[in-house]
Structure 1
Amino acid sequence: MALLKKVNQILLVLLVLTVCVILYNKVHRVPSTLKNETAHLENGEEMEEEIPVVICAAAGRMGAVIAAINSIYSNTDANVLFYIVGLKNSIPHIRQWIENSKLREINFKIVEFNPMVLKGKIRHDASRPELLQPLNFVRFYLPLLIQKHEKVIYLDDDVIVQGDIQELYNTKLAPGHAAALSDDCDLPSTHEMVRSVGMQNTYMGFLDYRKQTVRDLGISPSTCSFNPGVFVANMTEWKHQRITKQLEKWMQKNAEENLYSSTLAGGVATSPMLIVFHEKYSAINPLWHIRHLGWSPDTRYSEHFLQDAKLLHWNGRYKPWDYPSVHTDLWEKWFIPDPSGKFKLIRPDS
């Protein structure tokens, strides 16, 4: 009898414990919908896509890359990762500039470019030696410098971004295209500028059609060119199509045969891309590459037109950190003075 009583007491205790556990779970249980929402938010934060932007920091032009980066960083909430490419001797300067200014908050990586990869591939051009600087060819070697990204934005240093870089990154590339670029005939508003300063916007301005190798390409000399100072690249297609090898092939051919009219137009970095990407590229929104601001020291666009532009490009000889140049106010508002004092703006009163 005593044993039976003891068993009943144990069962009663177990029953009470079971009821307590059930009540505790009901009170503290998180609804499944809330669990899913929380997990979704956490995953969203973890999965926020990085926007890789490749830009070069050349000695003597450090202020350019600083202004470009500042304009991008200030006009977006996107998670931008800047790949700043430089030569060994210039890297300490750009790192110091960033870390001692408000740009210390940006997400960036410094990448050293080895100019030895260009050995034997560049033909000397005494008329435009600046076009032969090693960093002009960084755009050819993106997969070697940037490893983990499917999509990459490449920008020349002489640009200012007025729009949200996320919009440029969202550019759709057609299947089989390794890049999206700006056609030089895409924006009627720039045609008057092209005519007024005698610019070339066809393949005739870049390739020497007197050479049989060029004629054998079968590309009409009146074909509209494009500007490779701003583009969005698909790294998978780039590697699959061996774009870097193709570009190197045409660099080598030019070194041997002098195929490019570099004195007329954009030099030896543009011409190989015109050949390799002929009829094999997607288009970016024309407002994301308003160019030619550096082609004349006095020919200007209308202020209204420039206000609508998403990206401004001072391609040409007349740079906004130098003098003379045009629309310098639109560039200088993003410039951050060099803490070391090495880089100074050239102004008429300086």
Structure 2
Amino acid sequence: MKATPPQRRRGPRVAVLALVLCSLLVPLAILFDHASSSGDDVTTDERRRQEVVLPSIDRVVRRDPVIRLPVGGGVRQDAPKKISNGSSGVLPQPKQIDRRPSPSSTKPKVLPVPRTEPPKAVMEPNRQEVANDRKRRDRGAKADEVENAKACQLEFGSYCLWSTEHKVMMKDSIVKKLKDQLFVARSYYPSIAKLEGQEALSQEMKQNIQDHERILSASAVDADLPSFINKRILEMEHTIARAKSCTVDCHNVDKKLLQILDMTEDEAHFHMKQSAFLYNLGAQTLPKTHHCFSMRLTLEYFKSSSLNSDVSSAHKFNTPNHKHYVILSKNVLAASVVINSTVINSKDPGNNVFHILTDAQNFYGMKYWFARNSYKKSALHVINYEETILEKLPKHSMREMYLPEEFRVLIRDTEQLTEKARMEYLSLFSHSHFFIPEIFKDLKKVIVLDDDVVIQRDLSFLWNLNMGDKVNGAVQFCGVRLGQVRNLLGKTKYDPKSCAWMSGVNVINLEKWRKHKVTENYLQLLKQVKRTDEASLRAAAFPLSLLSFRHLIYPLDVNLTLSGLGYDYGIEQEVAWSYASLHYNGNMKPWLELGIPDYRKYWRRYLTREDQFMDECNVNP
């Protein structure tokens, strides 16, 4: 009877021990089961997340245009101010739809026999959620694409437009697949090499990586690949699959992927900068065929005994009754096209007088060319700008001739991210334009034409304009207002709401110019500009041109000149024919190989053909 109580006490102890053991084993079993069933999904999500990591791009929240000064010199006068929004650079992940059944859906539903799907009332919210999720994804992707385009245009300018238009789609799919396999294998190899018992896999992966590198170093296109390439691809696929099945430290793989991604992006950016430099070099350099052409004309001028076209028309040069056009150019063919297009479309070409201002290097070649070619009895006057300034303004130190300056303006609107950033090229007067009244003291009115302009209509109506007290008749460009570039204009008073203006076709009232002392005001403003080198001097043309003509601009009809043919690919043919003049402002001039092919025909139709020196120098723009 005394042994009975201990037996009774032993029963509860066993039961308690069993309960404790079950409480430990059951959670472990559930945990292992969950890990084994969802381990692959975790790896896939982690890999997908790493693929969308991009360098952070600060989103600019200002609507001010970004001005690069000048295009030719490549000087940045106003660096864009970037305000970070705290973005980490990771694209937002699409909202995951929870497809697990809700507690209410686990109850059995009694449905009519013909129906084999849930009622429409149950399906509609899921469809709406999927549609909204897809719209959010598309909107986010489009916004990021716009931001990337803005960043590219901000750094590389019109090269981004040119490279996009001339982008060649990759056709060598096998080479691309080899590179993708090499990318993945390199990311897994460091982690596999550290695992114990995976020496064979590590050696196999290393050998495959070396084989891929050797093949890609010798083959850049599919046609150059060896015949056994499919075998190598299958071997690498098998090796990568084995590597993915191993338990590796995801942090190491993640780190390696980021390293490879950074290296790839740095390499791509380097090639982008190199290509942009070569593009700008080609846009700013006179082709060797044009240089040969100019030199041949200069040589022939000195070989000719008596060739002077100015003598017969000299009486028209200082007569105010004629229609005087002024062109600043160093390009013989460009100046020839401007004059030829103006004369052909003029109703009274015999009343036209063209004054071509050029530098000393191209002066004799210009004289010889325009002496050999006639333009319907129009008078042609070729002037050595440097010699004229030395003669009439001996105290002025800036005697070099400057062509019209172009400034790249990037206009952004962050309130509508789906809208693409607009890039414009704003053409303004250079320093040389401000001495036109001193060069032509006997004239009262002139029309100044840029040498990248093509005239398509008669411009006689411009001579009948009553500009009142205004000095410069120009097409306004209200995409840029003076208040938006106040950091470039200094402390001079001006109307912040007034629009910028464009050169190209400008009606200049020289009498009003002298009355308002525009040249004197320009020289006074020039003294306040810090000029450290040639580039900063050219950059100063932006504020000086806008401030010198403040309140003195007469707005011309916007249909007078169509700008953008040197960078905008989206101009329709019907639109181009409707304008009185076309302006090839931008880097892609029509006489360059970089010129936009669809717009060259408007320029070529006024080009003088079948010339001996053009054939000898192989000039065929």
Please give the range of the TM-score, normalised by the shorter of the 2 chains: 0.5 to 0.7
Query: Is 1:97 paired with 2:373?
Result: no
Q: Which residue of 2 aligns with 1:333?
A: 605
| Residues 343 and 376 in structure 2, CA contact (< 8 A), matched pair in contact too | no
Aligned-pair distance for 1:73? 0.7
Residue 103 to residue 218, structure 1, CA distance change in 2 (3 Å): closer
Distance apart, 1:288 and its partner CA: 1.8
Choose which of 400, 413, 431 in structure 2 pairs with 1:137.
431
Residue from 355, 359, 364 that aligns with 1:83: 355
Equivalent residue, structure 1, for 2:551: 279
Identity %: 18
In 2, Cα distance between equivalents of 1:318 and 1:292: 10
The 10-residue stretch of structure 1 (237-246 or 337-346) with the greater mean CA deviation from structure 2: 337-346
Post-superposition Cα deviations, 1:89-119, rounded to whole Å, max 9, x if no partner, equal 2111111111222438431112221266663
TM superposition shift of 1:146: 1.4
**Correspondence for 1:51 among 323, 327, 332:** 323
Equivalent residues of 2:320, 2:443 under 8 A apart: no
Q: What amino acid is the match of 2:329? A: A
- State whether structure 2 residue 465 is matched by structure 1 residue 171: yes
Corresponding residue of 1:203: 482
Moved more, 101-110 or 113-122: 113-122
CA drift at 1:74: 0.6
CA deviation after TM superposition for structure 1 residue 274, in Å: 0.9
- SS in structure 1 opposite 2:360? coil
Say if 1:344 and 1:271 are closer, same or farther in 2 by CA, change over 3 A.
farther
2:379 is matched with which residue? 107
TM-superposed deviation, 1:233? 1.0
CA distance in 2, matches of 1:104, 1:168: 20
Q: CA deviation at 1:48?
A: 10
| More displaced 10-residue stretch of structure 1: 280-289 or 101-110 | 101-110
Q: Does the Cα contact within 8 Å between 1:57 and 1:90 map onto a contact in 2?
A: no
The answer to whether the 8 Å contact 1:57/1:94 transfers is no
Q: 1:102 to 1:169 in 2, by over 3 A?
A: same
Matched, 1:226 2:498: no
Q: Is the 8 A contact 2:430 2:545 kept in 1?
A: no
Task: Answer yes or no: is the 8 Å Cα contact 1:228–1:273 preserved in 2.
Answer: no
Alpha-carbon distance in structure 2 between the residues aligned to 1:203 and 1:346:
41
- Superposed CA deviations along residues 46-67 of structure 1, whole A, max 9, x for unmatched, are x994100000231xx2211100
Which amino acid in structure 2 is aligned with residue 285 of structure 1? Answer: D
1:150 corresponds in structure 2 to 444
CA shift for structure 1 position 216 = 4.3
Asked if 1:181 is matched to 2:474, the reply is: yes
Match of 2:48 in 1: none
Describe how 1:7-26 pairs up with structure 2 within 5 A.
none
Contact kept? 1:323, 1:346, Cα under 8 Å: no
Pairwise CA distance, 1:253: 2.2
Question: Structure 1 pair 223/239, CA: closer, same or farther in 2 (3 Å)?
Answer: closer
The structural deviation recorded for 1:343 is: 7.2
Q: Whole-Å Cα distance in 2 between the matches of residues 102 and 343 of structure 1?
A: 22
Q: 1:210 to 1:148 in 2, by over 3 A?
A: closer
- Secondary structure at the residue paired with 2:490? helix
Q: What is the deviation of 1:250?
A: 2.5
* Local SS of the residue matching 1:225: strand
SS in 1 for 2:528: helix
Q: Render the CA deviation track for 1:22-61: whole Å, top value 9, x for unaligned.
A: xxxxxxxxxxxxxxxxxxxxxxxxx994100000231xx2
SS of corresponding position for 2:467: coil
What aligned pairs does 1:34-73 form with structure 2 within 5 A after superposition?
A: 49-58=321-330, 61-73=331-343
Distance 1:227 1:142, change over 3 A: same
Instruction: Give the letter aligned to residue 474 of structure 2.
Output: L
Query: In 1, distance between residues paired with 2:532 and 2:554?
Result: 30
8 A contact 1:163–1:311 mirrored in 2: yes
Partner of 1:194: none
Contact 1:180 1:281 in 2 (8 A): yes
Change (3 A) 1:261 1:111: closer
Q: Give the 3-state SS of the residue equivalent to 1:319 in structure 2.
A: coil
Consecutive unaligned residues of structure 2, counting only runs of 5 or more, are: 1-318, 408-428
Report the 3-state secondary structure (helix = DSSP H, G, I; strand = E; otherwise coil) of the residue aligned with 1:286.
coil
| Matched residue count | 267
* Post-superposition offset of 1:219: 4.1
1:291 aligned partner:
563
Residue type of the partner of 1:63? L
Contact 2:526/2:544 (8 A) holds in 1 = yes
Aligned partners of 2:445 and 2:507 also within 8 Å? yes
Whole-Å separation in 2 of the counterparts to 1:65 and 1:343? 18
Q: What is the CA-CA distance between 1:306 and the residue it aligns to?
A: 1.0
Name the structure with the higher helix share: 2
Asked if 2 retains the 8 angstrom alpha-carbon contact of 1:293 and 1:313, the reply is yes
Match of 2:574 in 1: 304
Task: Indicate the residue corresponding to 1:161 in structure 2.
Answer: 455
In 1, the alpha carbon distance for the partners of 2:547 and 2:541 equals 11
The aligned runs of 1:263-278 (5 Å cut-off) are: 267-278=539-550
Report the CA distance between 1:300 and its aligned residue. 3.0
Calculate the aligned-residue CA RMSD, in Å. Answer: 3.5
Distance 1:140 1:345, change over 3 A: farther
Larger Rg over CA atoms: 2
Indicate the SS of the match to 2:361: coil
Change (3 A) 1:72 1:201: same
Normalising to structure 1: TM-score of the pair? 0.66
Letter in 1 for 2:578: D
Q: Residues 261, 311 of structure 1: CA spacing in aligned structure 2 closer, same or farther, 3 A cutoff?
A: farther
User: How far, CA to CA, are the matches of 1:292 and 1:204 in structure 2?
Assistant: 24
Distance 2:325 2:519 in 1: 19
Q: Are the equivalent residues in 1 in contact too, given 2:562–2:582 (CA < 8 A)?
A: yes
Distance 1:285 1:90, change over 3 A: same
